[in-house]
Each structure stands twice: as structure tokens, then as C-alpha cells.
Amino acid sequence: MSLFELVRAYSDLGVHRSGTSSQAATADWLVDELRSRGGEAALEPVAFQRYLADWSVTIDGDEVEALPLFYEATGDVQSASPARWSAFAPAGSGPMGVTGSLAEGGVDPGGIVVAATQNLMGFLGVSNRVPEIGSGVHVLQVAGEYGGTLGEGTPVTARIAARIEPATCPNVIARFGDVDDATELTILTTPISGWFQCAGERGTGIAIALEVATRLAEEGPVLFLGATGHELGAFGAAEFHRAWGDRAHTLLHIGANAGCDWQQSDLLDAPNHSNMAARLAADDRLTEGAVAAFARAEIPVDTPPRDRSQWFGEAADWLDAPRLLSYLGQNPWFHAPGDLPDVSCTAARTATVADAFAEAALHLIRS
């Protein structure tokens, strides 16, 4: 199966939210892929508080796609006159990210809001959350294209029934070689969960990680983590880090949108959709070879200080690793339903990043 066929297979499994049946099927699929490449793969369940809800929003009599702001409230509410916000962009992943908007909106706990999300292309675009109860106000997010409609007095109805209950969702762990006794252990990690089908956001990274793991396993022991819970405070990666955080000698993180290439800004009226740099933390001798590997693929490399504010995603948890390499890109369909194969990502970019990342990683391991 080619790298982009892996992206399609991942996307076709459905919505990848943690704790869903489709994400359970994704974990089983990934175990099979890892075993087919020689990995000793297994599932390791991680406990978390799962948000469960049923909801609907109608605008001018038509039901529209919506998504609750997970964990912000529980209980059953329905209204033919919900509060309306024409623009909503929760900052950060936690409940505090929405505090300002909720306070300014004047909605009491137990109330319900229909909010058009801010997304560059007018999509439904959501932010990551942490599994903790928030303000008590139900927020049902709809696509940004409805922002004007919400402000014009158009009939709007909203309904939600939400609860939180204990659950588990598995990390996917694979050992290539004698991981437990390795003195210089390489850990390769990529998240496997997300809000929607996540072809570019997650699928390309998973495909690249499978390819890189296969190549690195020829050099020595590799421990692979397919981390669950990314959209919910990265709880799967945090659980893994508690067990393995002091073992990583070389930490390789393949983050969001790895196979997405938006240097061609003609698709968007926005000049800022370019690839983000690979990020590398290592001594100068090691850095030089890795930078050269990415340069051959015309991928810039950034070497920020080991400060959490300078690193993205789960890579920020691994700043104590002697060698740290992280890659991510940009994607206008990020955290939106339209993140699908051939829309947000390409086979060529996925293969290019896989080759460059593998070459850079091999340099780090061999030096």
C-alpha cells in the first residue's frame, strides 16, 4: 500500500474523535499496519472522561452541520430562541479559552448559544479541548458562513443533550527491536485522533510515521507511539510520556498537516499559508546534517530554544530528550470537515516529507 493509499484508508475509517467506534477501528487498523512492517504492536487503553452528546441546529428551517464545544456544559436544553454569536474563536485548548466570549455574550449557565466559528474559508472550524467541565453554557458551533445569517433575525433553533462519563481509548504502541534494553532509544510519535476525518491533519502524519519507522528499524530499536486523545488535551501522549519520558534519546515527532503544502497561495486569498518549518533541537554537529536533509526537499528548519512556548503539539512535552525533531505543516481545512484526501493534502508532498524526515532522523541516529 502506497503512502497516500494509507492516507485514504485512514480517512475512510470515519470521524476520529477519541472514544468513538471509528477511532477504535482506526487503532486496530494501525496495529495491523505496524505488524505488517515487523513491529510488535499492541493497544494500551488510556482512561479519560468522555463527552457524549446528541444535538441539532436549524437555521431558517434547515438543519445545518454543527458541533458542540465539548465539555463546556452538560444537561438537556432546547430553545427556539438561542443566543447567537456571529463570530467565535475559542483560544487555546482548555475551558478558560472561551471565558471571555461567554462573559461578553451574557449567557447564563444552563443557556445555549449558536455560534458561527471563525475559519479562514468560512467552514465549521473547532479548537482542541481538555476533558474538564467548563462554564455551564452550551455552545453549538456552526460554519463561519452562517455568521451574517445569525445576526439578521433569521429563525434559529437549537437542541442538545450532553453528559460526561468515564471511558478508555487506546494508544497504539509498537516495538521494533529490543526496545526495553536499548541504551540510546529512538521514540517516534504521531497523534492518531482528531475532530473529523483528518486526512491531512492526521492521515499524512500516520503514513509518514509508518514509513519512517520501517526505515529506522533497520538501524536499531524504535518505539512507536500512535497517540490518542490529541483533540482532548493530548491525554494519550501525556500518559505515554509518564512511562517513557526519561528513556528517549532521540525523539521524533510528526505533527499536524505533514503532507499538506500551501505555499501555493493562489488557492486562497491569504499569503500566510506556507509550510511551517521542521523544528530541531540538537547540538550543532547533529543539526547540520539534518538541516541538509530537509534543505534538499526545500523544507526550512527552525532551531528554537527548549522553551515550551516555542514548540507545538506533543513535541513540547519532550524537551528533555537529547535530540528532538518535530515537523508540522499548515492546512486551511485544519480542524474542519473538509480535511479530505486530494483536498487538503497530496501524494507528492506526503512522499517528499517522508523521505526528508527519514533522512534527517537517520542522520541523528547515526551521528
Q: What is the pLDDT of residue 64?
A: 96
Give how many domains the chain has, as a whole number. 2
| Shared domain check, 246 and 355 | yes
Residue 264 has pLDDT above 50, yes or no: no
Asked if residues 50 and 196 have their Cβ atoms less than 8 Å apart, the reply is no
Lowest mean pLDDT among 57-66, 308-317, 357-366: 308-317
Asked if residues 206 and 190 have their Cβ atoms less than 8 Å apart, the reply is yes
| Shared domain check, 197 and 124 | no
Question: Domain of 270?
Answer: 3-39+177-366
Asked if residues 191 and 314 have their Cβ atoms less than 8 Å apart, the reply is yes
| Shared domain check, 356 and 303 | yes
| Shared domain check, 136 and 191 | no
Bin 313: left if φ > 0, else alpha if -120 < ψ < 50, else beta.
left
Q: How many CB atoms lie within 10 A of CB 14?
A: 15
- On average, the pLDDT of the chain sits at 90
The whole-angstrom separation of Cα 131 and Cα 229 is: 10
What does each C-alpha distance from 124 to 269, 300, 310 come to in angstroms? 18, 31, 28
pLDDT tens readout for residues 290-336: 999 999 998 989 999 999 988 988 999 999 999 999 999 888 889 99
* Global confidence as pTM: 0.93
pLDDT tens readout for residues 120-138: 678 898 889 999 888 899 9
**Positive/negative CA dihedral, 274, 278, 283, 286:** negative
The whole-angstrom separation of Cα 212 and Cα 207 is: 9
- Residue 171, in any domain of the structure: no
| Shared domain check, 343 and 269 | yes
Q: 3-state secondary structure string, 182-237?
A: CCCEEEEEEECCCCCCCHHHHHHHHHHHHHHHHHHCCCCCEEEEEECCCCECCHHH
- Residue 215, in any domain of the structure: yes
Higher pLDDT, residue 212 or 145: 212
Q: What is the pLDDT of residue 212?
A: 98
Q: What is the pLDDT of residue 102?
A: 60
Residue 252 has pLDDT above 60, yes or no: yes
Which residues are within 8 A (CB) of 104 and not within 5 positions of it... i.e. 6 or more apart?
none
At 152 the three-state DSSP class reads: coil
Q: What is the pLDDT of residue 101?
A: 58
- Residue 274, in any domain of the structure: yes
Domain at 221, CATH number = 3.40.630.10
Domain boundary residue among 163, 190, 217?
Answer: 163
Domain at 141, CATH number = 3.50.30
Question: Where are the alpha helices (H) located in the chain, listed in sequence order?
Answer: 3-12, 21-36, 99-105, 147-150, 204-216, 235-244, 284-295, 347-366
| Shared domain check, 312 and 224 | yes
- Radius of gyration in angstroms for the set of CA atoms belonging to the chain, rounded to a whole number: 21
Residue carrying C-alpha cell 551521528: 367
Question: Max Cα separation, the chain?
Answer: 66
Q: What is the pLDDT of residue 237?
A: 97
| Shared domain check, 304 and 192 | yes
pLDDT tens readout for residues 76-122: 999 999 999 887 765 443 333 454 556 556 788 889 999 998 776 78
The whole-angstrom separation of Cα 326 and Cα 336 is: 23
**Positive/negative CA dihedral, 257, 219, 321, 173:** positive
- Residue 315, in any domain of the structure: yes
- The three cell numbers of residue 143 are 460554519
Which of 318, 37, 317, 43 has its CA nearest to residue 185?
318
Domain boundary residue among 140, 163, 186?
Answer: 163
Burial class of residue 309 (count of CB atoms within 10 Å of its CB; 0-12, 13-18, 19+): exposed
- Which H helix or E strand runs over 250? strand 248-254
Percent share of the chain, pLDDT over 90: 74
Quote the DSSP letter at residue 57: E
Higher pLDDT, residue 355 or 272: 355
Q: What angle do CA 345, 350, 351 make, to 5 degrees?
A: 150
pLDDT band at residue 274 under the 50/70/90 scheme: very low
Distance of CA 360 to the CA centre of its chain: 23
Give the mean model confidence (pLDDT) for residues 4-30: 98
Percent share of the chain, pLDDT over 70: 91
pLDDT band at residue 258 under the 50/70/90 scheme: very high
| Shared domain check, 122 and 72 | yes
Lowest mean pLDDT among 68-77, 197-206, 308-317: 308-317
Q: Are strands 66-68 and 75-79 parallel, antiparallel or unpaired?
A: unpaired
Q: What are phi and psi of 145, to 5 degrees?
A: -60, -20
